[in-house]
Homo-oligomer: A and B are copies of this chain.
């Protein structure tokens, strides 16, 4: 079976602009075409769109606008990890021989309907994600004797790192005090603990090893894939202080790639809220339970960007359907040594963690140069 590589990418600036979803998809795709050598529309066998938009038939619409007549075309939706689900679908189309070259474009608008968790009746009126994040924060702080100040460092670090990401919605540093003094949304969450909904797009190109050298001298290989859905309702989680689906997905991805946490040089973690970053680090085995925040501190004070070099969701913004693709592009750039001021030294193995709805569903990808 052929190996699968990432061979091109394009992004838009993440913003709060009122732009049509079709235009966001097209702009990210145009940027991909502009930066990829020898790419011809006729070579593209599948076009997948990742979004929570209510608009239908977006893959044929993007294809028509971009001059592509693919064999396979459809949208993929799984809330906040739609992007990595679309990447895994594309990987499968290539490995199974149905396509050799797949374009994936993720986009969202700031007013995406994916931001409210309508289905979970047990939530009563608490349908916004901040309510699960509050319970996670309270539970994690209590179990491991952490403070709001401890968790605030995630936001401080990721805002700082996003300054070096020209596509990030945030371009300014914040202090621990700024986070603690920002608007209190719930007992355990302040505004600066949260990633922001925004308008943004990210397109990525996957190719079979048989043709990947046509497009780049530096293909980045997808060597590990792990996915797990434990439930839809976060109230079904067996615990609120680690991420069961993330743990399982990471185990699968490490097993497939024959890698392990200590080999990972750079990673994108789904920090939808500050508590998510240390919890995910624990759950994937990078740290012992409750110790994730120590790794966050260590990297921050040593000015090591290895965790969320583009600024994570908190610094970059969180356009749902584009997030997993944007994370994957960041790791690709890191492994290609093309991450400019964000570059992590000697990055050979990278990891992407992308999840939905209180980690009821997770994807973990291992990428290698």
Known: A52-B56, A57-B356, A79-B57. A228 touches B92 (CB 8 A): no
CB of A76 closer than 8 Å to a CB of B: yes
CB of A71 closer than 8 Å to a CB of B: yes
Q: Are B232 and A57 in contact (CB under 8 A)?
A: yes
Cα(A369)–Cα(B113), bound, Å: 43
CB of A22 closer than 8 Å to a CB of B: yes
Q: Are B61 and A113 in contact (CB under 8 A)?
A: no
Q: Are A113 and B56 in contact (CB under 8 A)?
A: yes
Across-interface contacts of A74 in B (CB, < 8 A): 76-78, 82, 85, 89
Q: Binary interface profile of A, 286-313, with partner B (CB < 8 Å = 1, else 0)?
A: 0000000000000000000000000000
Partner of A64, one of B61, B69, B98, B231: B231
Cα(A230)–Cα(B41), bound, Å: 12
Cα(A356)–Cα(B54), bound, Å: 17
CB of A162 closer than 8 Å to a CB of B: no
Q: Are B229 and A119 in contact (CB under 8 A)?
A: no
CB of A114 closer than 8 Å to a CB of B: yes
Q: Are B113 and A70 in contact (CB under 8 A)?
A: no
Q: Binary interface profile of A, 182-213, with partner B (CB < 8 Å = 1, else 0)?
A: 00000000000000000000000000000000
CB of A146 closer than 8 Å to a CB of B: no
Q: Are A357 and B98 in contact (CB under 8 A)?
A: no
Cα(A116)–Cα(B332), bound, Å: 39
A5 to chain B, nearest CB (A): 15
Cα(A85)–Cα(B312), bound, Å: 33
Q: Are A232 and B75 in contact (CB under 8 A)?
A: no
Secondary structure dominating the interface of A: mixed
Q: Are B231 and A69 in contact (CB under 8 A)?
A: yes
Q: Which residue of B lies closest to A54 (CB)?
A: B54
Known: A64-B236, A96-B1, A228-B71. A78 touches B91 (CB 8 A): no
CB of A215 closer than 8 Å to a CB of B: no
Across-interface contacts of A63 in B (CB, < 8 A): 229, 231-232
Across-interface contacts of A229 in B (CB, < 8 A): 47, 59-60, 63, 69-73
CB of A174 closer than 8 Å to a CB of B: no
A23 to chain B, nearest CB (A): 12
Across-interface contacts of A227 in B (CB, < 8 A): 71-73
Q: Which residue of B lies closest to A114 (CB)?
A: B56
CB of A264 closer than 8 Å to a CB of B: no
Partner of A61, one of B47, B95, B119: B119
Known: A1-B97, A75-B76, A357-B57. A69 touches B232 (CB 8 A): no
CB of A158 closer than 8 Å to a CB of B: no
Across-interface contacts of A78 in B (CB, < 8 A): 57, 59-60, 73-75
Q: Are A356 and B60 in contact (CB under 8 A)?
A: yes
User: Which residues of A (9-29) have their CB < 8 Å from a CB of B?
Assistant: 22
Across-interface contacts of A70 in B (CB, < 8 A): 228-229
Cα(A361)–Cα(B72), bound, Å: 9
Can you list 30 A-B contacts (CB < 8 A)?
A1-B1, A56-B113, A57-B119, A57-B232, A57-B356, A57-B357, A59-B229, A60-B78, A60-B229, A61-B232, A63-B231, A63-B232, A64-B232, A69-B230, A70-B228, A71-B249, A71-B252, A72-B85, A73-B78, A73-B85, A74-B77, A75-B77, A76-B76, A89-B89, A89-B93, A92-B92, A92-B98, A95-B96, A95-B97, A96-B96
Given A57-B119, A89-B92; 13 other pairs, CB 8 A cutoff:
A55-B119, A57-B77, A64-B231, A64-B232, A71-B226, A72-B229, A73-B227, A77-B77, A88-B98, A89-B93, A91-B96, A92-B93, A96-B96
